[in-house]
Structure 1
Amino acid sequence: MGDEVPIGLARLWRLPTESRLGRPAELDAERVVRTAVELADRAGLSGVTLAKVAKELGFTTMSLYRHVGSKEELLVLMGDAATGPAPQLAAGPGAWRAGLRQWAYALRAVHARHTWLSHLPVSGPPSGPNAISWMDVCLRALRGTGLDWGTKVGIMTLLSGYVRSAAQLAGDLAEGRRGSGLDQPQAEQEYGRALAGLVDRERFPEVAALFTSGLFESAPADDPEQADFDLGLDLILDGVAAAIRAAGHGD
């Protein structure tokens, strides 16, 4: 099988890539990837280099190339490992909405545990075993909706992109507020007050109306970030419901 499958894909699926005769190796792909993930969790994606991973493991950088072909391959391996296997979703007739919501929440939780994931370069479609498991359960949630394969894949891509984008934005905003002493609601109030005095009603009538509407002064939700995420998710799921109705299968 090793001759049929590209070496990088074989390593991603943990297929044998060389003879296992002789003394067991002191190092393997699992240890390399696990150490790299731990480094990224501590220092962010920029803190992961082959040299730093090798130092953490107590090996030379060259010794890692037996198990990881390049930094780019390591990132792919890290992404699949950190994402982990997909959860079981709500199932049954008409359960697609609950299933997709659960899928999005679970993926968001993964991004919260590994904040560097949203900054991981996207090198192609899902290809690792964990990524494929998330793909499978998402498609299972859409089974019976009457949607064609292209639409189902498009919905999955939209949802995963939304979760990634929301996680990245939340992380960037938190980083931007660091040192200011403001939480999200306070930062939004400061923003609204500052812009209200700057925006010209003649030039920007709708934005001026927004800043004088009291929206940024109103009592915030218990978890503004969650409320923002839910709003976007509901809009996406409403669009999926419309597509299902158009396919003649109702909600």
Structure 2
Amino acid sequence: MPQDGGSGAAGVDPEQLWLRPTEPRRGRRPSFTREAIVLAAVALADAEGLEAVTMRRVAAEVGAGVMSLYSYAPDKETLLELMVDHVSGELTVADPPKGDWQADLKAIAHLQRAHMLRHPWLPAVVATRRVPGPNTLAFLEHALAALRPTGLDGAAKLEIFAQLTAFVAGHVTYEIAQTAVTRSPDRMAAEARYLAAVAADGRHPELAEALAAPVRPLTPEATFTRFLNRLIDGLDTS
């Protein structure tokens, strides 16, 4: 029986999803398309989060009965696969890699960050997607081409891309959470006084030294770039 939920993409058949025609498998031809369903689901997730994406809610958005959606997406996991690949189309890169693999990887990571910030629900699902569709594969192909100058084998290049994507997803999750936290000037001043007192108590010399260091730019973009540079510049390609 079709389901609204699920714990992963293990049950999604990639041949059925990506290689076979997208026409409904049974019943009368509906008045909407698979693309309309996916667009409605993405819009819901962008506006209200993944919790809002249920088969019933998506059906209402496209003006259809729930059962008619199951011809295109038999469960929510399949719908999530379709959503992820649809928005991955935004990651299309027109120009080939420039040949500097570190600079190319950093450019890829900045694209991913902007992409995930546009779709805040993505970081929570990218780690569980196991059925890359055509748009996702196109971006992966670009990333693997960027890593060609390293001379690494295919498995290592796939691992590096997975590591990079996980880093970006984790950072964006933190970034979004921090944006949602509201701190008043009084609260921020109290936090600063507290840390100053802790640093001065003599029991935390490492923290005291760290807090005494020059303050670096704290804009989200600058912070992400610093973390990313440490990750990419420290990659071992031997």
Q: By the TM > 0.5 criterion, same fold? A: yes
The offset of 1:73, in angstroms, is 1.6
Query: Residue 137 of structure 2 corresponds to which residue in structure 1?
Result: 132
Alignment partners' CA distance in 1, 2:31 and 2:230: 51
1:76 aligns with 2:71: no
Q: CA deviation at 1:39?
A: 0.7
User: Shift of residue 181 of structure 1?
Assistant: 5.2
What residue is the counterpart of 1:141 in the other structure?
A: 146
Q: Does 1:122 align with 2:117?
A: no
- Identical aligned residues as a percent: 32
Q: Which residue of 2 aligns with 1:91?
A: 97
Cα displacement (A) at 1:124:
4.1
Segments of structure 1 that go 5 or more residues without pairing to the other structure are 1-5, 247-251
TM-score, reference length from structure 1? 0.78
Structure 2 CA distance for aligned equivalents of residues 19 and 61 of structure 1: 14
Runs of 4+ in 1 over 4 A off after TM superposition: 17-24, 186-190
Structure 1 pair 207–141 and aligned structure 2 pair: CA distance change class (3 A): same
Matched, 1:206 2:211: no
Residue among 145, 170, 175 paired with 2:175: 170
SS at 1:144's partner residue? Answer: helix
The Cα offsets for residues 32-62 of structure 1, whole Å up to 9 and x where unpaired, read as 1110001111111122111111111111222
1:236 partnered with 2:236: no
Aligned residue pairs total 227
The answer on whether the counterparts of 2:12 and 2:78 sit within 8 Å (CA) in structure 1 is no
1:154 and 2:162 equivalent? no
Mapped to 1, the partners of 2:95 and 2:193 lie a distance apart of 43
Task: Verify the 8 A CA contact 2:42 2:83 in the aligned structure 1.
Answer: yes
Classify the secondary structure of the residue corresponding to 1:231: helix
Contact preservation (8 Å) 2:198, 2:204? no
CA distance in 2, matches of 1:59, 1:150: 44
For 1:173, give the aligned amino acid. Q
Partners of 1:44 and 1:27 in 2: CA distance: 23
Distance 1:228 1:90 in 2: 27
Residue 197 of structure 1 corresponds to which residue in structure 2? 197
Alpha-carbon distance between aligned partners in 2 of 1:98 and 1:133, rounded to the nearest angstrom: 19
Do the aligned residues in 2 keep the contact of 1:201 with 1:209 (CA within 8 Å)? no
Structure 2 unaligned residues grouped into runs of 5+: 1-10
**Shift in alpha-carbon separation, 1:60–1:24, aligned structure 2, 3 A:** closer
Supply the AA of the counterpart residue of 1:91: P
Confirm or deny: 8 A CA contact 1:90 1:98 kept in the other structure: no
1:57 aligned residue (62, 71, 80): 62
Following the alignment from structure 2 to structure 1, what is the Cα–Cα distance between the partners of residues 27 and 129?
36
User: 2:4 aligns to what?
Assistant: none
